[in-house]
Structure 1
Amino acid sequence: MQSLVYLGPGAAALEERPDPRPSAPDDVVVRVIGTGICGTDRKILLGHFPARPGVVLGHESVGVVSSVGEAVTGLAEGDRVVVNPTLYCGHCARCRRGATNHCLNKSGTEVGVDRDGTFAEFVVLPERFVSPLPANLPFRRAVLIEPLACVLNNVRAGGVGYDDVVVVLGAGPIGMLVAAVCERLARRVVVVEADPYRLDLARSRFRRVVSPAEDVGEAPSVVVETTGNHLDEALGLVADGGRVVVMGFDDSYTSQVTPLRLTNRGISVIGAGDYPAEVFPQAVDLIGGLDLPELVTHEFPLADHEAAFGALSVLGYSAMKVVIRSDAGVPAGPDGWPGER
């Protein structure tokens, strides 16, 4: 099979890898239909997030079950599925108390980071990390399930409630999902974005969208920082007694935070990390009814991976959610994605 392999900062290439087969009784082999490019994938290539050279990139994936191990009972060949790439062992002390997102045995299990991911024609995972899709949920919307799970975990960690004013820094796919979820929970949501392309798309959906030079209005009780490199700005915006949720990933960014600034103003800085196991099915249930513009704006075949990442250039965006399609030869439905089973 064709696979997009990470070679080191700034470099990835297509390689032929053996087609996976079930090697454990609970293994499920998924024929990948499409995988969204995550900000993490982009930052891996930029050298701003660590990954293992030689790993197959990608983790925001939907597909169709190709084959299953002998112990698999909940899935069958041909089922439409979404991949949950946040693996956990299930038996360490943290997993036993429900903190599967902080599993002590994470090494080698981060799909698309240090375990082979989904920018490929097939991927194999244990059954518990492959979820069936609702029959009426299109693949184009389902590819947003994994990023939505990240959002739900962070919004929950921020304790967003009906009396909150929320400012979302960044109007990429994550920022748009955060704003859509917070609209259901908070009394006011403001989105801040600098990039003209993403600013215009956010303004087509949300009532209060501003550039960084504009006033956000009432000081927010919650700031969700989705870019990974604007913590200082978030601390400058948040009201006394407020919460800053640090959601974006950028290993190259540092911030000098004076502890007294936090204690005097009563500010909480929150990092939620990966989502625990129970959040992923919540995202599966929620994504179909979430009020969003069309976030999947561009699709590229696996062979055109350079153009796919180029649409998310550091010089300026020309896309929102970019999906790399791996479904060559699979019959298409009316929207260009494969139809029902």
Structure 2
Amino acid sequence: MNAISLIDKQRLDLIDHHYLEVFPDDGVEIDIVLSGICGTDLAVLAGREEGQTDVIRGHEAVGMIVKVGKDVTHLRTGMRVVVDPNEYCGSCEPCRSAKTHLCNGGSNSGLDIAGINKHGAFAERFITRERFVHCLPDDMSWETGVLIEPVACILNNIDQASIQAGERVLLLGSGPMSLVAQLLLRAMGVTTLATDLNPYRIKFGRSLGLDVMHADELELRMQDQSKADAVIDTVGNQIDTAIQFVRRGGRILLFGFNGDYHYQLPVKYFLVNAISIIAAGEYNQHFPRALRMAGMLPELGKLVTQYYPLEAYPAAFDSLLNDPSAPTIKSVFMPNPKYL
């Protein structure tokens, strides 16, 4: 089958891959319908993050079940499903303590994540185990389904930061994850304000009824408002800006990926102003809730704006990496377009 693999540092290629492992008794084989390109994939190709070579990328995926193992009880062929890529072992101490996001019993001595440190879903087919597969509701589109994993990520951050209805949240950056967060927070009764540099993203966010502005306008806008209860840095290098606009006793959430970014922490300022820095890590059993919440967000599927066959991966990544003003929100691969 065709698949997109990281064959060298910052280099992808389309390969012919065949699963050689014995199909597990609780295994589920899935024809991938959509697989989302994530900011993590872009960070690896841009050199801001390390990536494991010889691994098929892709960790946001929906598809159709084509085969199940003899011990599978709740799934069957022909079901539309979404994949949870965080494959915890279930037996290490963190897993037994209901902290599966901190799993240290995987094959990589930590949490096994499809598309990150084991084969993922930029492929025509994907094999996983039953507990990492969730059914899509009949009335949920493929486009909404492929954003369930991002919704789970956002929910984890909301939980860790204890963001509540009635609070005000500033989001720095309005890429796909930020827009998912804005829609989710709005549905929860949270007031959001967001920034971006890309005119298309600003216009797109506003078309959804969201309050999005150019980053250069933020200081003037905030002069007439109280500071935010929480600031989410979705870019990965915006702590300086976050400090300016978070209230005393507020929270700064680290969300974007940039391994090259370092920040010298003014400890006294954070202590005196009781500002918390929150790094939520991986989500922990958030998929069932993410599916319920996504069903309440009719605009969610609109975030998918670009579709590519696997063979067109150079064009897909070239646009996302090299054109900061590209009219793009969420780009996805469609390995099996027959299902669309």
Question: TM-score range with shorter-chain normalisation?
Answer: over 0.9
Q: Percent identity?
A: 32
How does the TM-score come out when normalised to structure 1?
A: 0.92
Query: Which of residues 303, 306, 312 is equivalent to 1:295?
Result: 303
The 2-side partners of 1:121 and 1:26 are apart by 20
The amino acid of 1:321's aligned partner reads K
For residues 2 and 274 of structure 2, what CA distance do their matches in structure 1 show? 52
Give the C-alpha shift of residue 78 in structure 1.
1.1
One of 193, 211, 221 as aligned partner of 2:229: 221
- Corresponding residue for 2:290? 283
User: Is the alpha carbon distance of 1:192 and 1:269 closer, same or farther for their aligned partners in structure 2, counting shifts above 3 Å?
Assistant: same
| C-alpha contact (below 8 Å) 1:20/1:123 kept by paired residues | no
Counterpart among 258, 275, 278 of residue 250 in structure 1: 258
Mapped partners of 1:113, 1:259: distance in 2:
34
Counterpart for residue 16 of structure 1? 16
Counterpart residue identity of residue 191, structure 1: A
For residues 42-63 of structure 1, give each alpha carbon's deviation from its aligned partner in whole angstroms, at most 9, with x where no partner exists: 1111121222110000010000
Deviation string for 1:100-149 (max 9, x for gaps)?
A: 11112245312111100000011111110011111111112111111110
Contact 2:187 2:297 in 1 (8 A): no
Q: CA deviation at 1:207?
A: 4.3
Count of aligned positions: 330
TM-score, length-scaled by structure 2 = 0.93
Identify unmatched segments of 5+ residues in structure 2. Answer: none
Secondary structure, aligned partner of 2:163: coil
- Secondary structure, in 3 states, of the residue corresponding to 1:67? strand
Distance 2:8 2:106 in 1: 21
Q: Distance in 2 between matches of 1:22 and 1:61?
A: 22
**1:267 alignment counterpart:** 275
CA deviations 1:5-39 (Å, max 9, x no partner) are: 10233310001011567621111111111101010
Q: 1:241 is matched by which residue type in structure 2?
A: G
Superposition RMSD in Å: 1.6
| Shift in alpha-carbon separation, 1:4–1:92, aligned structure 2, 3 A | same
- The amino acid of 1:283's aligned partner reads A
Provide the C-alpha distance between the structure 2 equivalents of 1:196 and 1:100, rounded to a whole number of angstroms: 39
DSSP-derived class of the 1:245 partner: strand
CA contact (8 A) 1:165 1:186 kept: no
Aligned counterparts of 2:246 and 2:123: Cα–Cα separation in 1: 42
Residue 316 of structure 2 corresponds to 308
1:29 maps to: 29
Question: Is 1:155 matched up with 2:163?
Answer: no
- Confirm or deny that 1:117 pairs with 2:120: yes
Q: What's the CA shift for 1:224?
A: 1.2
Q: CA deviation at 1:318?
A: 2.6
Change (3 A) 1:39 1:140: same
Distance between the aligned counterparts of 1:256 and 1:106, measured in 2? 34
Judge conservation of contact 1:58–1:119 (CA < 8 Å) in 2: yes
Matched residues in 2 for 1:265 and 1:186: separation?
A: 26
8 A Cα contact 1:166 1:190, kept in partner: yes
Q: For 1:87-166, what aligned pairs fall within 5 Å after superposition? A: 87-106=87-106, 108=108, 109-166=112-169
* Gaps in structure 1 of 5+ consecutive residues: none
Q: 1:206 is matched by which residue type in structure 2?
A: G
Whether the 8 Å contact between 2:42 and 2:321 is mirrored in structure 1 is no
Q: Is the 2:182–2:210 contact (alpha carbons within 8 Å) kept by the matching residues of 1?
A: no
Letter in 2 for 1:269: I
The answer to whether the 8 A contact 1:6-1:53 is kept is: yes
Q: For residues 239-258 of structure 1, what are the alpha-carbon distances to aligned partners after superposition, in whole Å with 9 as ceiling and x for unaligned?
A: 11100111111212111112
Contact 1:8 1:45 in 2 (8 A): no
Aligned AA (1:289): M
Tell me whether 182-191 or 71-80 shows the greater mean CA deviation.
Answer: 182-191
